[in-house]
């Protein structure tokens, strides 16, 4: 990293017009690049939105209207529509939903994580945490979570089994076109 203050004190160099021009040009180029990156992100978001509309709305509807489950183009690219499942639990509903999962035999889906902040010099005490946590009176927090992929698979399996979910666990199905290249 350049030490501007230290460099200035050591050399007392006065920047030439050429050097100032180079800094100015690079600053302008950086600004242009950053603006292009921001615009690129906007374009990407627009393209992803258009892709989702075609994959999840327009193609499934068009194929349903044509009574097609799959379609192959002359170039070998194929398309089919399958039902996708999204399973979600709102943050406020997690305690009730996790209790329901545990009560109904799905507790293994829930992971529990404990975190404790130790100060400097407490490395040895941290190593002894499991044995002395309650005895030493440390304040600690815990977090429970179900991995998104695990929750999605559970939702698919629950739908297939006809399992009735509590209102805190939302399972949504929607058709989505899948393209094979």
Domain that holds residue 167: 81-180
SS3 per residue for the chain: CCCHHHHHHHHCCCCCHHHHHHHHHHHHHHHHHHHHHHHHHHHHHHHHHHHHHHHHHHHHHHHHHCCCCEEECCCCCEEEEEEEEEEECCHHHHHHHHHHHHHCCCHHHCEEEEECCCCCCCHHHHHCHHHHHHHHCCCCEEEEECCHHHHHHHHHHHHHHCCCCCCCCEEEEEEEEEEEC
Could you tell me if 99 and 34 lie in one domain? no
Output phi, psi for 28, to 5 deg.
Answer: -65, -40
Boundary of a domain, candidates 68, 89, 106: 68
- Give the pLDDT confidence score for residue 175 in this predicted structure: 84
For residues 154 and 170, what is the distance between their CA atoms, to the nearest angstrom? 11
Please give the pLDDT value at position 5. 59
Considering the domain architecture, whether residues 90 and 147 belong to the same structural domain is answered as yes
**What is the reported pLDDT for 7?**
56
Same domain, 91 and 165: yes
Number of domains in the chain: 2
pLDDT computed for residue 66 by the predictor: 95
pLDDT in tens, the chain (181 residues): 566 555 555 667 899 999 999 999 999 999 999 999 999 999 999 999 999 999 999 999 999 999 998 989 899 899 999 989 999 999 999 999 999 999 999 999 998 887 777 676 777 766 777 667 777 676 666 667 888 999 999 999 999 999 999 999 999 998 887 877 7
Same domain, 164 and 99: yes
Tens digits of residue pLDDT in 57-96: 999 999 999 999 898 989 989 999 998 999 999 999 999 9
pLDDT of residue 10: 60
The angle at the Cα of 86, spanning 85 to 90, to the nearest 5 degrees, equals 155
């Amino acid at each position: 990293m350049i030490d501007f203050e230290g460099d200035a004190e050591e050399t007392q160099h006065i920047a030439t017009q050429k050097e100032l021009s180079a800094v100015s040009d690079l600053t302008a180029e950086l600004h242009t690049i950053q603006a292009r990156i921001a615009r690129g992100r906007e374009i990407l978001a627009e393209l992803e939105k258009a892709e989702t509309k075609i994959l999840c709305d327009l193609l499934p509807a068009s194929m349903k209207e044509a009574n097609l489950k799959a379609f192959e183009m002359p170039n070998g690219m194929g398309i089919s529509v399958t039902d996708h499942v999204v399973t979600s639990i709102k943050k406020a509903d997690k305690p009730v939903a996790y209790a329901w999962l545990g009560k109904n035999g799905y507790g293994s889906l829930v992971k529990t994580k404990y975190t404790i902040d130790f100060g400097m010099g407490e490395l040895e005490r941290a190593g002894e945490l499991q044995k002395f946590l309650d005895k030493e009176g440390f304040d600690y927090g815990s977090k429970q979570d179900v991995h998104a992929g695990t929750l999605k698979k559970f939702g698919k399996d629950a739908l297939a089994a006809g399992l009735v979910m509590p209102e805190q666990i939302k399972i949504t199905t929607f058709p989505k076109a899948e393209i094979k290249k």
